[in-house]
Chain A
Amino acid sequence: MSKTIVEKILSEHSGTDACAGDIVVAEIDAALVQDGTGPLAVQHLQKLGMEQAAKPERTVLFIDHAAPSPRKELSNAHKILRDFAKKTGAILSDVNEGVCHQRMVENYMNPGEVLIGADSHTCTAGALGAFATGMGSTDVALGIASGKTWLRVPETFKVYVTGEFKKGVYPKDLMLHFIGMIGADGATYKALEFCGPTIDAMEISGRFTLANMAVEAGAKAGLFNSDETTKKYLKERGRGEAWRPISADEGANYERVYEIDVSELEPTISAPHMVDNTKVIKDVEGIRVDQVYIGTCTNGRIEDLRIAARILEGKTRNPHTRLLVCPASRDVYLKAIEEGLIAKFIVAGATIVNPGCGACVGVHGGILGDGEVCLATQNRNFRGRMGNPDGFIYLSSPAVAAATAIEGVIADPRKYL
């Protein structure tokens, strides 16, 4: 029978003819936890007397959400992960390395593989043609220990994208637009398969942004074909030999098909307190912003920093607006230094925050004050997300963020491009 990408990958990993709706027990290739979810996972395994990793070389423990630790409780939580790594041989990605999802695609994930992660944005790796999904500490703990997990094979929504982006409009705008269109629960329990000429032409960083936000529409995974772009990326990362082509079969069964033409798309913003509360730029222009945050697993890659630096070059941030720049990983950071981007940010008045989750999850490094407004390149803006339930978060592309830092109010980036 013709299969979607998800059905193909889960068939291979369960040794069954997996179709949407089936319950399978699947082999997993890799697993991740982070410092917010990992300690509980380790405690679960201690309770079971199973402090072990079936695939230590593909089990990655990230210290990224509170890195470096801002308080002793978190330092102690980090110790749990460091000890578990020592005991089991699992890989520790410590405070210097960066955000889990960026590091997973940079160093560990390949097309056709299955990844489970105790973090909702684990779906990022779907951009490489893998099945990657977020779960809780219990699921991932058992996955780490046994090398397996149970899954209901999801139905797939096909998202067929055509047209060329206008100047100043990016994959982030497409994803915010799409989530606004179908709603924050529009794809609950489903897999999204992104395809079409616009996706074929899209560079890998844009695909990461789309896959990353699949969960913001409720989806279990966001998947892409593994093609020449994927191959090029894996080669650059020294894993060329791990490439294999992946795409859905002709005639595969889709529960729904969405067609989106991006050629008329405008810079798009999510307004507080929901990701699906989307607006086009002209409807939110002029709103005063106290803090701009450029970074995260959604838009903290070198391509994102290049866009922001280009706009900020030779300009300075508005004195009323703090500008935080947080490269998603150590490799991104180094590259940004080599390319001179970091210097441009500093000259423009930015504060550079070390690679990690930083302000995104509201633990440290950019917590909002009461009534303050932040415009961020991250993926969600729920009430309290950035550490204060009385803060307000708008989501945008790095270009809008850079223009907003200059003007101190939400601004259209196109006049700077």
Chain B
Amino acid sequence: MQIKGKAFKFGDSISTDHIAPGRLFHLRTNLPELAKHVLEDADPEFASKVQPGDFVVGGKNFGLGSSREHAPTIIKLAGVGAVLAESFARIFYRNAINIGLPVLICDTNQINAGDELEVDVSKGEIKDITKGITIQAKPLPDVMIKILNDGGLLEHFRKHGGFALDA
């Protein structure tokens, strides 16, 4: 899977409250509307600037906090191609894969805001075209690749008539 787009940089510890805040709780059953506010409390202009294929580039512990699957879902709905971060909080990471949003762990310090990136998700390869460098992401665990390749966990479950993930 090849994705091309621009980097939107965020700092460490972007929480689910930054991504899908509680004050917009009433929009959780209206995801397209909620997506218009994605990451609003970290960057109020992000939602209006992001283009399909662009990347959210975070620091450490991206997505910490709540279990709200709405957080990765509205990042995906906003057109984001993948989230790159130095590390992810557990539930966010699992949710993102479940709903088919690629998440890659890599050294994001090398990427600047606005850099043009080309990402090969299955190889975990991030080309920073602006800088002319290639950054290697940590390979996704096999189980996550299976789910992502099936198009998310619901599709996985439908396809296999249950979970086909243990060894």
A interface residues, Cβ below 8 angstroms from B: 14, 16, 22-25, 36-37, 39-40, 44, 47-48, 65-66, 71, 73-74, 76-77, 80, 117-120, 122, 134-139, 141-142, 146, 148-150, 152, 184-185, 188-189, 215, 218, 220, 274, 361-363, 367, 380, 382-389
Given contacts A22-B167, A361-B22, A385-B17, whether A139 and B162 have CB atoms under 8 Å apart is no
Chain B residue numbers with a CB within 8 Å of A36 are 25, 28, 68
Is the pair A74, B25 in contact by a Cβ cutoff of 8 Å? yes
Is the pair B64, A185 in contact by a Cβ cutoff of 8 Å? yes
Does B108 touch A at the CB level, under 8 Å?
Answer: no
Chain A residue numbers with a CB within 8 Å of B69 are 37, 40, 118, 136-138
Is the pair A387, B23 in contact by a Cβ cutoff of 8 Å? yes
Give chain B nearest CB distance to A98 CB in angstroms: 18
Q: How far is the CA of A142 from the CA of B156 in the complex (A)?
A: 11
Is the pair A48, B157 in contact by a Cβ cutoff of 8 Å? yes
B interface residues, Cβ below 8 angstroms from A: 13, 15-18, 21-23, 25-30, 41, 60-61, 64-70, 87-91, 94-95, 98-99, 141, 143, 152-154, 157-158, 162-163, 165-167
List 13 A–B pairs whose Cβ atoms lie within 8 Å, in order of A's numbering: A23-B143, A40-B29, A77-B28, A134-B67, A138-B98, A139-B153, A146-B162, A184-B61, A185-B61, A189-B90, A215-B91, A218-B89, A362-B25
Is the pair A380, B65 in contact by a Cβ cutoff of 8 Å? yes
Is the pair B163, A150 in contact by a Cβ cutoff of 8 Å? yes
Number of A-B residue pairs, CB cutoff 8 Å, is 156
Give chain B nearest CB distance to A140 CB in angstroms: 8
The 8 Å CB contact of B21, one of A117, A137, A389, is: A389
Q: How far is the CA of A80 from the CA of B68 in the complex (A)?
A: 17
Is the pair A363, B67 in contact by a Cβ cutoff of 8 Å? no
Is the pair A25, B165 in contact by a Cβ cutoff of 8 Å? yes
With CB as the reference atom, state the residue of chain A lying closest to B158: A48
With CB as the reference atom, state the residue of chain B lying closest to A146: B162
Chain A residue numbers with a CB within 8 Å of B67 are 37, 117-120, 122, 134-136
Give chain B nearest CB distance to A46 CB in angstroms: 11
Chain A residue numbers with a CB within 8 Å of B61 are 184-185, 188, 218
Q: How far is the CA of A383 from the CA of B12 in the complex (A)?
A: 13
Is the pair B15, A218 in contact by a Cβ cutoff of 8 Å? no
Chain B residue numbers with a CB within 8 Å of A150 are 143, 163, 165-166
Find the residue from A23, A136, A388 having the highest chain B CB count within 10 A. A136
Is the pair A142, B153 in contact by a Cβ cutoff of 8 Å? yes
Chain A residue numbers with a CB within 8 Å of B17 are 362, 382-385
Is the pair B94, A139 in contact by a Cβ cutoff of 8 Å? yes
Is the pair B154, A185 in contact by a Cβ cutoff of 8 Å? no
Give chain A nearest CB distance to B89 CB in angstroms: 6
Q: How far is the CA of A148 from the CA of B163 in the complex (A)?
A: 8
Chain B residue numbers with a CB within 8 Å of A148 are 162-163
Is the pair A385, B89 in contact by a Cβ cutoff of 8 Å? no
The 8 Å CB contact of A382, one of B15, B29, B141, is: B15
Q: Which 3 A-B pairs have the closest CB atoms?
A: A362-B22, A136-B69, A136-B95
Is the pair B23, A48 in contact by a Cβ cutoff of 8 Å? no
